Each structure stands twice: as structure tokens, then as C-alpha cells.
Structure 1
Amino acid sequence: MADLGNEPDALSGIWAAKALGATAGAGISLIYLLPKSRREAASRFMTGMSCGLIFGGPTGLWLAERLGIADALSGTEVMLTGAAAASLSAWWVLGALARVAERYGSRPNGR
């Protein structure tokens, strides 16, 4: 895997890959589990973006190691795929839990 050095050009490429991956993952999560409202769509998109940007690096490294392809990928590719995977899985899990909680949560009048 390529060195993730501290050169400004390398860092801007890494951040661009993280942002692109997080955006792609958040968008795909909206397509898989359609939101009920604009508010839910905005909330899910921002959650996906945040998780993709924060957890994209560790997720990408974990996936590359698990799949045994870490030596074949560049740092940008690891960040891109990691951010997309973290972003997609964040709202996929949280969205499903929110819908389950809404369905089986407390009902009015004790029902």
C-alpha cells in the first residue's frame, strides 16, 4: 500500500477520496432504504457523510486486510472504499434500527 505521507498534495488527495467515498456511500444508502421525509433524508445523508469521513480510513484498512488486497491498493483507493463502506453501513444499520424502534415503540393510550 502506498505511503500516506504528510505532503500537502497527498493529504488533499486523501481528503478528496474520503469525501467522494462518503458522498457515494450516503447516496447509495438513501437509495437502498428510501427516506420517508426530507428531514430524514438530510439526517441520513449527514450521518453517512460524518461516519464516512471519520471512519473511512480504519474501515478501508480493515477491508483491505480482510480481503488480502492491501498490497495491491493505493492509499487513495483504501480511503475511497473505506469511506463508502463506512458511510453506507452507518445509516443502513441506524436506519433499520430507527424503523424498528418506530414500529415497536410505545403506542398512544398504552396500546
Structure 2
Amino acid sequence: MNTTDGQADWSGIVYGDFTDPKKLRQRLEAGADPLGELWTFDTPLHAAPQMGSPQVVFELTSRARDLDAFYQGRSALWNAVYHQREDNASVLAELGADPWRPMRDGWSPGRLSLAGPTR
């Protein structure tokens, strides 16, 4: 399926779309993969925690086959913590993201949160 309202990919998605759960939900319902390529340098699951709403993060996370998947050496939870998005980090943690999984030179999202302003 590839219609204007329900494309099965992430083409045409812009930064502001990550605050619109309806728009992202339509893509997901059409078959778009939360871990699919976005802008050739990210995935929706990894972009949403830094710029999206908690509702969008929930939609993507609840449909991801691996919510601890790495993209460019980081997880979605790492992105939420790094960008000081406690709201999105909470959604990811509640849905099962591992805060203690080592990445980034052995640092985990949990360790990063203890070292930064979100502790």
C-alpha cells in the first residue's frame, strides 16, 4: 500500500511530523518499519526520542521488533537521555528498553542519565 495518507515507508516525513501521532500511526499501519531508513542517516525509532512527542515514541516503540536496536552505535533510549527528553526516556523504559546496555565506549543510557542533568 502506498497512498498519500498511509505510505508504507518514511519518505516525505519531516522533523515536525514526530509530534503528530496520527500521521506516524498511519505509516505504521500501512506497514512502515520503525527501524526502517529515515533520511539516510537515522531510523524513526531513533529520531523520535530526541524530537518527538511521547505519544509518537510509544507508537514506534510498541511496534518495533527490537527496541534496543543500535543505529550508529546508539539505542533509542540513549537518544532520549542524551537529548534530555525524560518524557520519552520514560516511555522507552516502561516498554522494556534496557537502561544498562553498554554502548558508546561502555557507557549505558542509565549511566549517562546519572552523570547528566536528568538524574
Which TM-score applies when normalising by structure 1?
0.22
Which TM-score applies when normalising by structure 2?
0.21
Report which structure shows greater RCO (CA 8 Å, sep ≥6). Answer: 1
The structure having more radius of gyration, on CA atoms, is: 1
